[in-house]
Structures are given as structure tokens and as C-alpha cells.
Structure 1
Amino acid sequence: MSDVWQDTITTAETIRREFHANPEMGWQEHRTAARVREILSALNISWRTCAGTGTVGILNPNGSAAHIALRGDMDALPIHEATLKAWSSMNDGCMHACGHDGHTATLLATAKWLKYHEAQLKGPVSLIFQPAEEGGHGAREMIKDGALDGVDEIYGWHNWPAIPFGQMLCPDGLVMCGNGTFKITLHGQGGHASQPELCRDPVLAASAITLNLQQIISRRLAPQQAAVISVTSIEAISAPTVIPQNAILGGSIRVPDRKIRDEIYRLITEISQQTAASYGVVAEVEHFPRYDATINHPLQATQMRRLWQEVNGADSLDFVTATPIMASEDFSYYLQHIPGAFALIGSDDGPEHQVPCHSPHYDFNDRLIPVVTRLFSRLVGVGVPVPEELP
């Protein structure tokens, strides 16, 4: 491999660990944004601020071919890290538990490699460093602030510990589901635990509603329909001898489209209110739609798969993992505006990188940086060193 390539990858790995040690939540990525901009400036890549903590870099702005955008997300999660790595989070209660540190570092590696080979570019290339993917609608705000202005195609990716290392999942059409959350507030009648007949127990109603909501998937939707309903929290603060006045249920849904989302929300409301009534309490149901499904455009997905196979071999595509993946991504916003594709790329090369995203024990697999930098570079027409085997 060339010295430039090796320096590009080694530097990116160091930067990735720096980002990991200094995570920032969505819309608070001030240090991360400053570091990204510092690196782009050092590479003599023009950039502009976008949506506050977001940044859009531009290469070969006067190119005549298709304008391609590449995206990396930057935000972390409210999780206490437990990896015990030397580069563990120094911000207590905030952690890069989804690999956005690696996504950002990989896009910076791509930026450095493309700048060195800018003369090979036929069209403009936008480098989109996006904030607030984790529920903050960062992509939507980047679009509002012009991140896609003049862009013809966009490509993105996510590391995926559930897939073997170096395998790509990039189907035509639906790749990841849409999502939403809900909140059910139960208003009962509190009182002494020794006199339940004088109370209307919201805890008992909350328990029944939790069970009954599971029947939506098993009995109210077709077995072929991909969807998830998860009650993720029950809050009923009280004392051992006190039946509380109120209880609150919280949860999440995963759906392939808006039609199924609306039907599930309707059923959550119906079942919650009717179940609550049977226990003598009142249910107030609120719904919060979040992201739509991430749906690839076939031409761009085909291009992504083809270039991946050219570098990594004919057997490097994942045909085993069922789609859609039930997780969600705000990359969906970009794909609603312009053609593009989003891929899940396997990071599992052993026990250390089998830990799922959003776990306090998760850490990004740095071996993905050169692999995806090759892909991004080839997507915009720049050659890369291809090793005899995956790094």
C-alpha cells in the first residue's frame, strides 16, 4: 500500500478514538464539529456550517459530472460506557455506543484520500458531517439548510455487529424500518395498599396494557407483516404501602411504512383505553412519529453492491440477514429527496465486535475504516489500493 493510504487510515483510527473519548449528544456536537472543520481546513477542503453543528465539505466544486454526497453522522448516546478501553468516554453518561465516531472518522479518511486525488474526480463531491441522527432529525435539518442543494446522489452506511465482518447488506428498496414512540398516562385512584377495593390501581392496568399490546403483532396484523411494538418503561413512583394515583407507560414501534404506523397507533390507543376502562382507570395516549423507513433507490443500491464486490469479492454480499432491519435511520430523509443508497456493513470479527449497538460494552471496529473508505472513494470514481485480503 502507498504511504499516503497508510497514513490516511492510521490517522483516521487515531481520530476515531479521540472522538470516542469525547462524545457529544445530538445538537451538542460543538467539539466534534470544531475538530471536523479543523481537519478539513488543514486538508484545504472548503466547508460551510450547516444546521448549527453540521458541516458540509466540498471537493471539485466545478466538476461537470454527477454531484455525489457522502454522509457520516456524529452524535453519541446517553449511556454510561463499560468497555474499559483506553479511549473510553471521558463524558460521564455519554457514549459513542452506535459507532458514529467511526462513521465520522471514516468520512474524514475519505476526505483526505479524495483531496490527494482530487484531479481524478469528474463531478463535485459533498462531504456531509451530520449531527443529531439519534432521534434529533439531524438529516431533516441539514436538508432544510441546503446540504443537498445541487446534489444528484447520496450514499451512506452503518456498521452492524450482527453481520460478519466485511459483508454488505444493501437491498433494493426497504432496508430499515421507520419508527415512533408512544406514551400512555394512566389516571387511577390511589390509596392504601390494604384497601385495593377503594382504589383504582393504575399499576395493575399498566401491567394488563403491556400484555395486551403484544396481541397487536400476533393477532391484529398479518403474520407476513414486519413490525415491532416494545413497551420499554413503566413508571409508577410510590411507596410499598401505597397504590399510586398515576402510572406512565413508554414504548417504541418499528414499521415499514406510514400506513402500518397509523394502524398500529390506532390499535395502541384503542386497546389501551379499553383495557384501562376495564380496570376503572383512564388512559391518555400520545403518539410521536419519528423517522420514516429507509428505502434505497435500486440503481444506486446496485452501484453500491457492485463496487463493494469489486473490492471485496463476489461472496461479500449478505443474502442471509432478513430485511427490513427493524432499527431506524434518519438517512431516510435524504432518500426521500434524491436518489441514493444506504448499506449495513458487518463488523463482527470475533467476540469483541459482536456486541450490539446501543450497548454500554460496544466499541466500533476500526478495521472498517479502510474498507468503507475504499467504497466511498470508488463511488466517486477514485481508485484505492486493494489488498489481497480484507485488512
Structure 2
Amino acid sequence: MQWQEVVNKAVDLRQWFHRHPELTWQEKNTAAKIRQCLTDWQVEWRACATYGTVATLGKEKQGEHIALRADMDALPIQEQTSLDFQSEVDGKMHACGHDGHMAALLGTILWLKLNEVQLKHPVSFLFQPAEEGGHGAKHMIDEGALDGIDFIYGWHNWPAMPFGTAVCPNGAVMSGNGSFHIQVSGLGGHASQPEVCQDPVLAAAAITLNLQQIVSRKMPPQAAVVLSVTHLNAESSVTVIPQTAEVSGGIRLSDPKYRPQINQLITEIAQQTAAAYGVTAQVEIRPRYEATINHPQAAQNYRQVLAEVFGQNCDQVDLMLPIMASEDFSYYLQQIPGAFALLGMSDQTNASFSYACHSPHYQFNDQLIERVMRVFINLAIKY
């Protein structure tokens, strides 16, 4: 099988994955497709974290053992692209490019299997479920996906960068995140008698405003922190002051050291503001992922290969790092050395590739598949 045949096979697989999206912790058919490919290609694999798969080539070889990772899950989004191979599942869509991530990794495996003699050390391939908030990486680690692995590499397409660009910094490349959920409880009653009520709506509005001081007045200007209130709910009729109101939202932070302070401030501000309005606030903070922080040596290895494939100036791009999106690849980097790269996807000749991840109009740029295959193959052979 020639190179272009392998690339075409990978593109076909991408389109199959795109037609058959499955949500977080529901990737049963996706896993079956991946495992059937590996079996057909006579690649050794084992199940991990239910729908995850760990495949290995060159297992008998000596030297440092690297791992390459792809995520698998889709999103609960109704696709609006009109692609010939658009989602066949109502309300579900690969709107973040995980279909392309899987396809590029499968193409890499097939080529390396056909040329396994070139491998000087073992290489593993992690197909990971539940990246979209499901902590799939943690489950993979808990079930031994990193056992014997010395370095790990991953990537994500990024529509805000032009095709042909790539960034892989030392240190943080993506931010950590978390969510807060505040229930404000008061005393409801008739809207004509506010004096005999304890209004949770007014308190919730004040809490929303007061939370904004955390970033603007409590964090150093150099800290990359975002706090957004994204949900307010105080369901009632127009003549009723309700008993409760809910305030919730998300936080993003590039350095884990700020998380305890931010969490404490959210709780203090919500409860003290509530007290000032004669109501109470119960606060729940749910940590999600920590920042994705690259290890310098692994990042240097990655940058060298990226420059070989994308060009020496591929990292010359107008992008402020770390980006504020989050990735559970951070779990891997907390355990072993590794690095994560962002690869540009937008194309001036096709505006469709510029839609942001998680948009119903999002489209993955299939030109990336061959490029990523070359990067991964070079990493596997050289490092």
C-alpha cells in the first residue's frame, strides 16, 4: 500500500466517524470501528476505560517508549453544515474535530505497521473516550494506559490559526477550567409585597456583578484567568417573587496555583453578598481539568518535527498562549513528560474551516490528516 492510499484510507475513516458521532462515554460503535481496523491490520491492542483502546507497535524493541493520543467523543449539537457525509445521528455532531484526530492516528498506525522495520523503539497509540468533560484521560491512566510509557504527545486542531501553522510552547498551552453552582434561597411571596419577602433574584443579580471583581481586583494582571456567569435561573410568574434563584458559570485559569484562591473568593463573595440581601447562598464548585502544561524537552522534540513538516516559521502566528480552552490531556502530562500542540486549520479559500470548535457550522479540514500523520510518524521514528 502506497502513502497516498494510506492517507485516503484515513480520510475515509474520518468521514465515517463524522457520520456516526457518539457522545461522551457512549463511544461503543466508534471503539468497535477502531478495534476492527487494528485487528484487520494485525496490530496488537487492548481495551481500556470501557471504550478506550491502547495499541502498540514495536513492543519487542528497546529504547524510550512514546505514546500518541487521539480523543473520540462527539458533542450534543445539531449539525448545520450540509456536508455529503454530515452526521446521521440527530442532535449529535463531531463539532470539535475528534473524528479527524482519530483518523490521523489510525493513518499513522497503518503506515507504521507497513514500515515497522523502521521503528527503533516501541510506540503506543491511545484512543481515548470522554474528553468532553468526562475525564476520560484519568480513567485511561487508572487502567494502566501509561504503564511503561516514557513520553506522550497529542494535538488539537485550532480554527483560529491558519492552516500550516503550529504552536507547541514550553509550559502552558491550554488552560484549566472548573464550574461553580450557587443556589440562592430567600422567602418568596407576592410581587406587590416585596417588604415581606426576602428576594433571591435581587441577591442573585448582585452576586453576578460582585463575582466580576475576582478577575479585575483580586488576581494579578499577569494571571490568565476568566470567570464567566453563564446561567441565571429564577423561575416564577410575573406576579411572584420566587423562593430560590440559581447562578452558575465557569472559570478558566492558566496556572493551577490560582485555583484555591478563586474557589475561596467565589464562595465568600456569594455568601457574603447573599447575607447583605437577607438571603443565603449554597455554593458548589466542581473542578474539571487542570492546565495542559508541556514539558520542555518533549515540547522541543515536538517543535523540531513540526518545523520539518510545516516549515521553520510555522510557529509565527498571532495567538496568545495559553488559549483559555481546556483539555484532559493535562492528566497525562501530570503523570509523565510529554507535549501538546495546536495546529492551524483555517483556509482563506474556504471559510467553513474558520468556524470555532463547538459550532454547529464547524468543519474539520481534511488536509490536516496527512500533515499530522507525517508529524506522528517522525516522532515515532526519531524519538
TM-score if structure 1 supplies the norm length? 0.95
1:35 corresponds to which residue? 33
Paired with 1:302 and 1:382, the residues of 2 have a C-alpha distance of 13
Q: Post-superposition shift, 1:164?
A: 1.1
Listed as ranges, the matches of 1:7-18 within 5 Å are: 7-18=5-16
Q: Post-superposition shift, 1:15?
A: 1.3
Q: 1:272 to 1:365 in 2, by over 3 A?
A: same
Which among 271, 287, 308 is matched to residue 273 of structure 1?
Answer: 271
Q: Post-superposition shift, 1:382?
A: 7.1
Which secondary structure state, in structure 1, belongs to the residue aligned with residue 212 of structure 2?
helix
Which among 44, 47, 50 is matched to residue 46 of structure 1?
Answer: 44
Paired with 2:292 and 2:376, the residues of 1 have a C-alpha distance of 19
Residue 71, structure 1, aligned to residue 74, structure 2: no
Preserved CA contact (<8 Å) 2:166 2:310: no
Q: Post-superposition shift, 1:353?
A: 1.0
2:156 corresponds to which residue? 158
Residue 365, structure 1, aligned to residue 365, structure 2: yes
Q: Post-superposition shift, 1:258?
A: 2.8
1:355 corresponds to which residue? 355
1:187 corresponds to which residue? 185
One-letter amino acid of the structure 2 residue matched with residue 27 of structure 1:
W
Deviations 1:336-366 (A, max 9, x none): 1111110000111132111111111112111
Listed as ranges, the matches of 1:90-239 within 5 Å are: 90-239=88-237
Q: Post-superposition shift, 1:49?
A: 0.2
Moved more, 316-325 or 126-135: 316-325
Listed as ranges, the matches of 1:312-391 within 5 Å are: 312-350=310-348, 351-381=351-381
Q: Post-superposition shift, 1:320?
A: 3.0
Q: Post-superposition shift, 1:76?
A: 1.1
Residue 25, structure 1, aligned to residue 34, structure 2: no
1:388 corresponds to which residue? none
Instruction: Flag as ranges the 4+ runs of structure 1 deviating above 4 A.
Output: none
Which among 59, 62, 72 is matched to residue 61 of structure 1?
Answer: 59
1:285 corresponds to which residue? 283
Which secondary structure state, in structure 2, belongs to the residue aligned with residue 148 of structure 1?
coil
Preserved CA contact (<8 Å) 1:297 1:340: yes
Which secondary structure state, in structure 2, belongs to the residue aligned with residue 380 of structure 1?
helix
Paired with 2:253 and 2:85, the residues of 1 have a C-alpha distance of 36
Paired with 1:54 and 1:340, the residues of 2 have a C-alpha distance of 20
Preserved CA contact (<8 Å) 1:117 1:382: no
2:303 corresponds to which residue? 305
Which secondary structure state, in structure 1, belongs to the residue aligned with residue 56 of structure 2?
strand
2:258 corresponds to which residue? 260
Q: 1:212 to 1:109 in 2, by over 3 A?
A: same
CA RMSD of aligned residues (A): 1.4
| Count of aligned pairs between the two proteins | 381
Preserved CA contact (<8 Å) 1:291 1:329: yes
Q: Post-superposition shift, 1:280?
A: 1.8
Q: Where in structure 1 are there 5+ consecutive unaligned residues?
A: 384-391
One-letter amino acid of the structure 2 residue matched with residue 354 of structure 1:
S
Paired with 2:80 and 2:133, the residues of 1 have a C-alpha distance of 23
Which secondary structure state, in structure 2, belongs to the residue aligned with residue 381 of structure 1?
helix
Q: Post-superposition shift, 1:319?
A: 4.9
State percent identity of aligned pairs. Answer: 58
Q: Post-superposition shift, 1:105?
A: 0.8
